[in-house]
A and B are shown apart, each in its own frame.
Chain A
Amino acid sequence: MQSLSLRQRFSPGRFLRGSGVEPGPVVLDRSRVYILPTPAGLVFAGMLVLMLFGSINYNNSMGHLFTFLVASMALVSILHTWRNLAGLGFAAGRTRPAFAGQRAGYELLIDNPAALCRPGIQLELPGEAAVVTDLEGRQTRSVLLWRGTRHRGLLPLGRCTVSTRYPLGLFRAWAFVELPLVCSIYPRPGPARLAPQSPAYRPQQSGDKGRGVDDFVGFRPWRPGDSPRHVFWKAAARDQTLLVKQFGGDRADEVWLDWASLPGLETEARLSQLCRWIIDAHDNHQPFGLRLPGREIAIGSGAVHRQQCLEALARFG
């Protein structure tokens, strides 16, 4: 928990923007929770004014008493609304990386240190639908927030608004939480395209030079006489070019996916293409390595390897 300096505490910008990213768990103390009436609260206030005028006009004592009771209840509910939020602790959890254009997930751990239950805690990222959760007493709960993505790179969680209208919905208490939670956004996978032939395909001495039926090796353009069973119809439908899946024999081929094999393309297009190749190679159980300017990931396979390579694409540049 980071305590705020006096200057931070009274800066008006904090009211609108929050106090920026903080490293540790964020605890909502008194100075962080703001509270204002909701539209329903304003309607309620208008109703109270009407009730008061009616009571005055009819000189009705019980009318006065009841108006004051309901008004007091609304005022006391401010404290309840505030208490529902105050003291909650927020810590960063894991992230769920996504390809650009998909939704990235951020896990938040919310801790309720008090014995009281806290219903109707709402978490909201700008431009996203809010998530509502209930916390029982002394409970820590993880909440997954989703955020839409557009571009490759590292996307921080940004400012999350935590709010509640409990118990009567007349007031809304809110606080800003900005945790150092950064999600990797992989490039948008490019079109299926012929995998690089010469530098990536390294025949081994004991190999069968790329002919066989067991393992997928790569693509090559269609030549008359190729079996239609080996045509990659998906790509044919998309790109109007006929590719043929090449199969290797008893040897495990290794592929180098190289930045340098894609000259003439923009950076992002290159990364997209590499991304596509990584996905395809992984899906085909093809061991592969990745070469980026200034970075080389050795040949490997498996989900961790795939993630490592995609991560490298996300962080590129």
Chain B
Amino acid sequence: MGKSRQTQPQPLPHQTRGWLLAAVALVVLPHLPRLPGWLAVFVAAAALPGLLQLQHPVRPLPRILLLPATIAGGGGVLLHYDTLLGKNAGVALLVVMLLLKLLEVRSPRDARLVVFLCYFLVIANFLFSQSLSMAAYLFAATLVITAALAAVTAAGGARPAGHYLRLAAVLLAQSAPLMLVLFLFFPRIEGPVWGLPEDAWSGMTGLGDSMSPGAISRLVQSEAPAFRARFEGRTPRAEQRYWRGPVLWFTDGRTWSAGKLELLPQVREPGKPGDAAAFDYSITLEPHNRHWLLALDLPVRLSIPAIHTLDFQMLAWQPVRRRTRYTATSYTHIDTGTLNSTLRAAALQLPDKASARVHDLAQNWRKSSASDAAVVRQALAYFNEQDFVYTLEPPRLGADPVDEFLFTTRRGFCEHYAAAFVVLMRSAGIPARVVTGYQGGEYNPLGDYWLVRQSDAHAWAEVWLPDGGWQRIDPTAAVAPERIQRSLDPAGAAAGAAAAFRVPDSDLTGGSLRRLRYLLDAMDNQWHEWVLSYGPQRQLEFLASLGIDRASWQHMALALLLLTGMPLLGVALWMLLRQSAPQDPVQRAWLQFCRRLARHDLARRPGEGPRDFARRVAAARPLLAGRVNAITALYIALRYGKPASHASRDTARLRRMVRRFSAWRRPGWARL
């Protein structure tokens, strides 16, 4: 009998509980920062009895407690998110259910459900982050979950933990080729197929469609990438690297917005190239759930369909909700020519309750200057010479932010300077507008691209001058010229203090760290490029590159069947080879001999030695006695005798004899 056992419902062994706990811990961990605080406490509270159950057979959570706990958990999620749908509430609910189930596991069936929920939580994680590091982490978690599933299946016949981990690793390794085939060839459908919950696209950062004091200084706290740009040929200098985003015309004194929307969807005439040569580049834009397609100031061509507006914005038809790649052409300067009356009126709009002090200041400049350009110079000199401070954490501003900023606080971030400058220009009768976007970027030599982060977000101004049209003026540069040369360091910001900038790392200290950062970002970029961006469009391109054009569904299905069959067949062959290979040739010949005799009702009995077997066969079939005895004697000598120098020759002889034994045909054989 040995270790064989009757199958009866039995409590899960401790080892299996350990596996479940490890799997649950690994999948819940990355969700923790997103979960509401009370749920995190709940997780910790659930972990404790879970750990206790490892040591002592604690009874599972009684059913009478389970229902109130489930209602409390679900109700908590509902109260916190106002819904049970959507990815945030869904994940929270899933975590609650998973933990309660974990405490209530009684049978292998329950345990299996816990494992399945774990797989689900892994995939839920990808709705929030698809980065390479997260993928690697979740792959490791999948290994443990799969090992847990194997441990649950083998419940009762426990094996060392290494066995299950090895098994899971073998399974994952063997399924990798098949996964690749499915990933490349499984017909992709453009989603969403049906409605998505409201929070489907939450959690994306980027420029807003309006700007109020503090909007951009909040955004620059984020180190998340905004986009990556790679230049073909020439690279613009630092003071040319302005990346154009939303253009804001209308102000209520505090907030700037695009204003009258009928301004926007006009088709801009292609601008005349200025004296500067064009820049050609490609951009990989991170999703930000808005329409803007960021481009170098001033863009004239884009490779993907977009609305080109009169104020040089590029707008996608749909909000950018996935990584988007496009090439573009820009000129650093374009003469935009005359300004029609509608636009001039919009570019001179001032809030109803404009501050008299601001108006007087602008009018003073107007009176003392000969031209618009001179007014602009005076304004910039004002910012430069007065005690203005460029800071990430400016003081809060009251009802009239521009007035307060110009005359009282004098501490502000780029949006304060841009807004104040445009208000001053409009007060002086010069058409002006606010432009938001990014400025600068960090060059990654390993990937040969510029990484522009949210922390590079910026706001500047444009004024219309009679000679040359719209001109970019950056009042921030007048206060803090370093901003244009270097990136901002949000970590160095202190309340009210001047903003800190990224200092080039000295080669001794930060050099290798920086290289590591470049490497990680370059890898992440490749990951996006080759894995994450593979969708319906890329699949069509890929198939076309294989010579499959306009593949029909039937063809795709057939090809998929063949392609999935091949890796599976490969694994099967590998298994068969490994299983049959290592057997002693002597033993193999002997077994073959026994099989041949078994076909004629002379099966070797279990436990019957070769000598006894030969004697029995000889007694039953005297005609065969000579051959059977010779084969048996040789087999015994080879298998149990002393190793001899002529062993290989004898082995060959044994095999030959066995072969001939089977080939021996005589009419009498049938009767034997």
Contact = CB atoms under 8 A, between A and B. Distances in A.
Interface in A128-186: 129-134, 140-144, 165-169
B542 interface: no
B543 interface: no
22 contacts: A23-B601, A24-B598, A43-B116, A56-B189, A62-B130, A64-B183, A66-B142, A72-B178, A73-B171, A75-B564, A75-B568, A79-B571, A80-B171, A83-B575, A114-B579, A115-B582, A119-B159, A131-B7, A132-B6, A133-B5, A134-B4, A169-B112
A142 B1 contact: yes
A50 B120 CA distance: 9
A294 B235 CA distance: 113
B314 to A, nearest CB: 22
B153 A57 contact: no
Contacts of A77: 171
Contacts of B4: 131-134, 141, 143-144
B528 to A, nearest CB: 9
Contact of B191 (A2, A57, A119, A169): A57
B494 interface: no
A54 interface: yes
A51 interface: yes
Contact of A69 (B142, B159, B582, B598): B142
B572 interface: yes
Interface in A102-132: 109, 113-116, 119-120, 122, 129-132
Contacts of A134: 3-4, 157
Contact of B192 (A58, A75, A113, A168): A58
User: Nearest 8 pairs between A and B by C-beta?
Assistant: A72-B175, A133-B4, A169-B153, A72-B178, A68-B182, A24-B603, A62-B126, A62-B130
B153 A166 contact: yes
Contact of A168 (B123, B149, B535, B606): B149
A22 to B, nearest CB: 10
Contacts of B183: 64-65, 68
Interface in B464-479: none
B120 A47 contact: yes
Contacts of A59: 190-192, 321-322, 535
Given A68-B186, A69-B179, A168-B153, A83 B579 contact: yes
Contact of A169 (B152, B531, B564): B152
Contacts of A131: 4-7
B157 A132 contact: yes
A87 B579 contact: yes
Contacts of A114: 579
A25 B579 contact: no
B572 A79 contact: yes
Contacts of A5: none
User: Size range of the interface on A?
Assistant: 35 or more
Contact of B1 (A51, A113, A144, A169): A144
A314 B183 CA distance: 65
A168 B146 contact: yes
B138 interface: yes
A70 interface: yes
A265 B189 CA distance: 81
B119 A70 contact: yes
Nearest to B575: A83
Contacts of A66: 122-123, 126, 138, 142
B45 interface: no
A40 B112 contact: yes
A93 B607 CA distance: 10
Contacts of A57: 191-194, 196
Given A23-B603, A165-B153, A133 B127 contact: no
Contacts of B72: none
A76 B7 contact: no
Given A119-B154, A120-B157, A168-B171, 6 more contacts: A59-B321, A62-B130, A68-B179, A76-B568, A79-B575, A129-B7
B172 interface: yes
Given A25-B603, A62-B130, A122-B7, A166 B154 contact: yes
A119 to B, nearest CB: 5
Contacts of B534: 61
Nearest to B194: A57
A67 interface: yes
B182 to A, nearest CB: 4
Given A1-B595, A169-B112, A76 B150 contact: no
Contacts of B610: none
Interface string A4-36: 000000000000000000011100000000000
A116 B595 CA distance: 23
A279 interface: no
Interface string B563-598: 010011001100100010011000000000001001
A109 B606 contact: yes
Nearest to A70: B119
B205 interface: no
B123 A51 contact: yes
A60 interface: yes
Contact of B167 (A75, A92, A167): A167
A106 to B, nearest CB: 12
A7 to B, nearest CB: 18
B632 interface: no
A28 to B, nearest CB: 13
B561 interface: no
Contact of B127 (A60, A79, A87, A166): A60
A69 B172 contact: yes
B641 to A, nearest CB: 21
Contact of A75 (B112, B178, B533): B178
B215 interface: no
B2 A141 contact: yes
B156 to A, nearest CB: 7
B157 A73 contact: no
Nearest to A59: B191
Interface string B175-201: 110110011001011111110100010
Nearest to B3: A134
B401 to A, nearest CB: 40
A63 interface: yes
Nearest to B145: A70
B126 A63 contact: yes
A66 B172 CA distance: 11
A66 B171 CA distance: 14
B152 A61 contact: no
A61 B539 CA distance: 12
A51 B172 contact: no
Contacts of A231: none
A91 interface: yes
B645 interface: no
A71 interface: yes
A152 to B, nearest CB: 27
